[in-house]
Structure 1
Amino acid sequence: MPKWFEEMEYVQWSGRKKNLNVTPNAEIEYTVLVDDVELFIAVDQKDNWISIQPFSTPYPDIDCGLLLALNQLQCFGK
């Protein structure tokens, strides 16, 4: 796992839509949302969204969703 991934900020959300504008000191063009539910992503921020496979109970013993998201993160903004 890359060191920068360990240092990523996790934002606690409230409300019906996840809004990158509430992320302190964020430069929106360099900020991403990793989520499994498109409904929660604001329409004007879908370019910042990295879609992952649904993640809910029962949680599988083996899950590679985070690794797939990491690959997308490495390509973000290129």
Structure 2
Amino acid sequence: MSSIDKNLIYQPRRADNATKIKRQAAANALQQYSLLALQAVKDGESPAKTRLKMMRALTDLPTELPKESYGSMRKKSAGPSSR
């Protein structure tokens, strides 16, 4: 038979269920503006930023950029000044 570890093939159900529940809650909030607005007020951020954070959570991307990479991206996008 094969020597593949079963943990590599099957994820524990509890972790899988937690991920599904988190994704479903984010999808529900994205579809209902009132839930999105409540979440934005709770987090103290704009609804657009909350929507972006939820979309990133749905696609398994990191929900926040590292602070130093954000600053370096801003400097790069500014480019040379035309004054």
TM-score by length of 1: 0.24
Q: Which has the higher contact order (CA 8 A, sep 6+)?
A: 1
Q: Comparing both structures, which one devotes a greater share of its residues to helix?
A: 2
Whose radius of gyration is greater, 1 or 2?
A: 2
Q: Comparing both structures, which one devotes a greater share of its residues to strand?
A: 1
TM-score by length of 2: 0.23
